[in-house]
Each structure stands twice: as C-alpha cells, then as structure tokens.
Amino acid sequence: MTTSRHLSALLAVVVLAVTACSEVRKLTYPGDITYIDRSQVTGAMRQMADAVARLERAIREAPSADRVDQAAVVGDLKTLEALASSLRAKKGYTTDPVLDKHMSSFLDDVALAREQAEQQPPNYFLAGHIAGSCAACHRFR
Ligand code: HEC
C-alpha cells in the first residue's frame, strides 16, 4: 500500500467512527424525545411553588372575595401554565415518564382555574385549590 492509500483507509475509519457516534446519539435521544434534566425540573418546580404560594396569599389575605387582586391571581396562573408547559415534550415524549403521564391533566386543571378566575365576577375556588393538582402528580414521583 502506498502512503496515500494508508491515509485514505485511515480517513475512512475516522469517517465511519464519527458516523457511528452520531447514530448512537440518535438511538439514545431521537428527534421526538425532549431531553429534560433534573435541574430544569427542580428549577421550574420551585418557581411554580412560589407562584402557588403568592396566589394563595392573594386570595386568603383579601378582606373579601371582591377585593382579591384578580390580575395578580390570573397572572400567577398564567405563570404556572408557562412553567408547566416548559416541562412538556415539544413532540413525542420527554426523558421523564412521570411528567409525560401527568403534566397534561395538571395543565387542564390550571386552565380551568384560570378561566374561572378570569370570569366577571371571578370564581377563585379552583385557583385556591390548585396545590391539590400539584399533589396529584407528586404522588407518583
Ligand atoms: C406532572 C407532574 C408534576 C406536577 C404537576 C408538579 N410536580 Fe413538582 N415535581 C415533579 C417531579 C418529577 C419533581 C422532581 C422529583 C425529583 O427528582 O426530586 C418535582 C419536584 C418538586 C419540588 C422540589 C424541587 C426541588 O428543589 O427539588 C417542588 C417544590 C415541587 N415539585 C413543587 C410543585 C408545585 C408547587 C406544583 C404545582 C404548582 C408541582 N410541583 C406540580 C412532578 C410534578
């Protein structure tokens, strides 16, 4: 073999090895998996806990139902929707089966709570009990 043959054989091996690596990556995380790591989950969860605490306080500390800061409660419910949505698969599924299985029913609960809180006059019953929907998923983790 000439030196140039050696070189092209070596090049072929390198190209194969690189291709093989990207194939393995594809098998591990194909396009329909959204990779969500622990710190992303715990970060969003802590912000959700803050939003729930804030809206519960707004409802509890108002002297009467018609004095609740409606915009603040609705805003916190929208924050919850955005944070929970950030933990959902873009398509297919995520790397966390518990989130996949239970996040959409949590989002349904939050959407309903928001719709009722947005009504005139507002109804804060579901908003005030949204922590129960957090617990519904936490039972499975
Ligand atoms: C669809 C499932 C699901 C829902 C809904 C959910 N959680 Fe979680 N939560 C998890 C998972 C999974 C973890 C991470 C568990 C782990 O690995 O420690 C977690 C962790 C947490 C943590 C711990 C974060 C840390 O610092 O370790 C808090 C606090 C939390 N959730 C609050 C909430 C609150 C408040 C809500 C409702 C607004 C909520 N969660 C709704 C699944 C859920």
Mean pLDDT of 68-78: 98
Residues 21-64: pLDDT tens digits?
555 555 555 678 899 999 999 999 999 999 999 999 999 999 99
Query: Which residue's CA is the closest to the ligand 1 atom numbered 25?
Result: 42
Mean pLDDT is lowest, of 10-19, 62-71, 131-140, for 10-19
| Closest ligand 1 atom number to CA of residue 42 | 24
| Model confidence, pTM | 0.83
How many angstroms separate the alpha carbon of residue 48 from the centre of ligand 1? 8
DSSP for residue 68: S
Token representation of residue 114:
């928001």
Question: Could you give the dihedral angle defined by the CA atoms of residues 101, 103, 105 and 110, in that order, rounded to the nearest 10 degrees?
Answer: 170
Mean of pLDDT over the chain: 88
Q: Looking at beta carbons, which pairs linking 98-101 to residues 24 or more positions away fall under 8 Å?
A: 98/137, 98/140, 98/141, 99/36, 99/41, 99/137, 101/140
pLDDT interval class at 91 (50, 70, 90): confident
Contacts 24+ apart (CB under 8 A), 116-122: 117/70, 117/73, 117/74, 117/77, 118/70, 118/74, 121/65, 121/66, 122/65, 122/68, 122/70, 122/73
Residue owning the nearest CA to atom 17 of ligand 1: 38
Mind listing the pLDDT tens digit for each residue in 14-31? 555 555 555 555 555 567
Query: pLDDT at position 138, please?
Result: 96
CA of 20 to the centre of ligand 1 (A): 37
Q: Report pLDDT for 141.
A: 86
